[in-house]
Amino acid sequence: MKRDNSTAVFLPVSPSAMVKREKTLAAATDKLMMKHTDPAFTKVPQQTDLDQKLSVCSKLCFAIGGAPNQVAGSATAFFLQIYLLDVAQVNPVQASMVLFIGKAWGAVTDPIVGFFITKSRWTKIGRLMPWMVGCTPFVAVSYFYLWFVPPFTNGRFIWYLGFYCLYQTLITCFHVPYSALTMFLSTDQRERDSATAYRMTMEVLGTLLGAAIQGQIVAKAHTQEHCPHHNVTAAHLGNASGAEVIKSLAQSQDFLSHAKEVYMIAAGVISGLFLICTVVMFLGVKEKDDPYAPKTEKTIPFHKGFILVMRHGPYVILTAGFLFISVAIQLIQSNFVLFCTYAVDLQKHFQNIVLTILISAVVSIPFWQWFLQKFGKKTAAFCGITWIMPFTVMLVIIPNVTVAYVVAVSSGLSVAASLLLPWSMLPDVVDDFRLANPNSKGHEAIFYSFYVFFTKFAAGISLGVSTLCLEFAGYDTGACKQPPPVVYTLKLLIGAAPVAFIITGLMILLLYPISEDIRLRNKLALEDLRTQGLGCRSENLSTA
């Protein structure tokens, strides 16, 4: 059997570490050629295998813990932009600053929180669990006030910027340890993949629930029932002096008060979910360290660990590829309600279209989990994510209700793949890093926090730029109709821009080096390391 040396190109580690890794991989490759009946193939005692198994209840409780973040994320992704513009009546430049600075601040806090997590000590409930339990009440409060319209007008920009940055900081304190918790559920790759599938299914359900709660409660705030019903000709909207935006003459204070009230109701419901789901996760999940790690491991300073992680080729490629893909999904999410309201005549259907997308995503998660096990994770990423491109373009070209629902069902397949695949592939990258650096431990938080950092920062830039594009196109806050340049800009933000970002991301993922063969060899090699660590500990206990 020829050995695959493709990973060597992407792993700039020291020569001694490379030699150790090559020897370990060689041993693993030899064992792949043995029959399963060979006694030497047995890696760990049977009890150890049983200890690695996770119950369905444990996986479900772990998945439920991540649902509120997606519920809130769905609500903010689809509705925060239009809420700031039309309900809070913040001008587009200030709204873009809120969205960009908030996202950028959230991105900056990810590595900071990751640093403090690596310095945290183990407690009776673990090292990650105290972070999640402690910050949850504050997350709920900050999220609620993000959707509250203060009685003053001049300082609203500071209000929303402050609470959005506070919410981003607190949700980071929850999400970074929660995502890193995957590595501390089990040492078995299949069990971690299964737990990730549970998590992604529940998170897509959370996204669905967030869109359902927010969409159904606040839908009447965006149906334009307060607008006057008079005919407007195309000539009137496109005269020689420029676009003439028709202002609503009947946008009464009563209507605005109703819009503010329904947004607060939705925020209260979602804030309550944070508390309930965190309690369920705390009661049902047991955090445990790698019980078979060698005792010879030494602590490496955070900055040196960061350098090692950033030099690890598979991690850089995976992060860069999904960075562009997540920006594309974020652009579609944040501009979809505006697109349905002002670019096409679908404002009465947008909440049902959003629900259709998310239902399709929920249903397809088990399919993608089966697909990645059958054909590999890299193949699943390409097949799943390319599916969305022709359908988003179709919605822009043929904007009618029937096409919109067909596009919604098809897009849900890609949304599911874009959510499941990066979190399923990231543990494989961590395993690959662990094998390349066998004397280094405790960098899981760095992997997860910086992955979120890069994707959040890019999403913040894209949101800020997209809102500024609307401002330059002539977006008029509070108007019932928008001029043609705004309509054209929304079509670009929904169609052409996401397609360009997705293509770029997939081109980068072509370089991703961890194939299924390499993943299996890494698994066997890590089991060797853990078996050696278990043997050393047994010898120490017997001599003691």
Report residue 135's pLDDT band, with 50, 70 and 90 as the boundaries.
very high
141: pLDDT strictly greater than 90? yes
Cα distance between residue 239 and residue 228, in whole Å: 21
What's the CATH fold of domain 54-221+255-286? Growth Hormone; Chain: A; (1.20.1250)
Cα 97 → chain centroid? 22
pLDDT digits (tens, 9 = 90+) for 386-426: 888 888 888 888 888 888 888 888 888 888 888 888 888 98
- CA quadruple 109, 115, 118, 122: dihedral sign: negative
Which is more confident, 32 or 351?
351
Domain map (residue ranges) of the chain: 54-221+255-286, 309-533
In the chain, pLDDT over 90 holds for what percent of residues?
Answer: 13
In the chain, the amino acid numbered 146 is: L
Give the H/E segment covering residue 467: helix 444-473
3-state helix, strand, coil in the chain (%, to 5): 75, 0, 25
User: Which pLDDT score, from 0 to 100, does residue 321 have?
Assistant: 92
- Helices and strands, counts by H and E, the chain: 19, 2
User: Which pLDDT score, from 0 to 100, does residue 166 have?
Assistant: 94
Which is more confident, 100 or 45?
100
Cα distance between residue 218 and residue 266, in whole Å: 8
Domains 54-221+255-286 and 309-533 belong to one CATH topology:
yes
pLDDT digits (tens, 9 = 90+) for 297-330: 455 666 777 788 888 889 999 999 998 998 888 8
pLDDT digits (tens, 9 = 90+) for 63-78: 999 888 888 888 887 7
User: Which pLDDT score, from 0 to 100, does residue 537 have?
Assistant: 53
CB atoms near residue 343 (< 10 Å): 22
Report residue 221's pLDDT band, with 50, 70 and 90 as the boundaries.
low
Report residue 442's pLDDT band, with 50, 70 and 90 as the boundaries.
low
Q: What is the mean pLDDT of residues 27-32?
A: 49
CB atoms near residue 360 (< 10 Å): 20
Pair 105, 165: CB distance under 8 Å: yes
pLDDT digits (tens, 9 = 90+) for 166-181: 999 999 899 888 988 8
User: Which pLDDT score, from 0 to 100, does residue 14 have?
Assistant: 47
Cα distance between residue 490 and residue 347, in whole Å: 14
Report residue 289's pLDDT band, with 50, 70 and 90 as the boundaries.
low
281: pLDDT strictly greater than 70? yes
503: pLDDT strictly greater than 90? yes
User: Which pLDDT score, from 0 to 100, does residue 327 have?
Assistant: 87
48: pLDDT strictly greater than 50? no
Q: What is the mean pLDDT of residues 248-275?
A: 77
Report residue 24's pLDDT band, with 50, 70 and 90 as the boundaries.
low
Long-range Cβ contacts of 42-49 (<8 Å, 24+ apart): 43/524, 43/527, 43/528, 43/530, 43/531, 44/292, 44/527, 44/530, 44/531, 44/534, 48/292, 48/534, 49/188
CATH H superfamily, domain 309-533: MFS general substrate transporter like domains (1.20.1250.20)
291: pLDDT strictly greater than 50? no
Q: What is the mean pLDDT of residues 511-533?
A: 81
Q: What is the mean pLDDT of residues 449-463?
A: 78
User: Which pLDDT score, from 0 to 100, does residue 10 have?
Assistant: 37
Cα distance between residue 82 and residue 80, in whole Å: 6
User: Which pLDDT score, from 0 to 100, does residue 505 have?
Assistant: 93
Q: What is the mean pLDDT of residues 339-346?
A: 81
Would you say the pTM of this structure is higher than 0.75?
no
476: pLDDT strictly greater than 70? yes
Report the mean per-residue pLDDT for the chain.
Answer: 77
pLDDT digits (tens, 9 = 90+) for 87-103: 888 888 888 889 888 88
Q: What is the mean pLDDT of residues 332-357?
A: 80
20: pLDDT strictly greater than 60? no
41: pLDDT strictly greater than 80? no
- Nearest-10 crossing angle of helices 516-543, 15-32: 100
Three-state DSSP class for residue 257: helix
272: pLDDT strictly greater than 50? yes
Q: What is the mean pLDDT of residues 156-175?
A: 92
Report residue 478's pLDDT band, with 50, 70 and 90 as the boundaries.
low
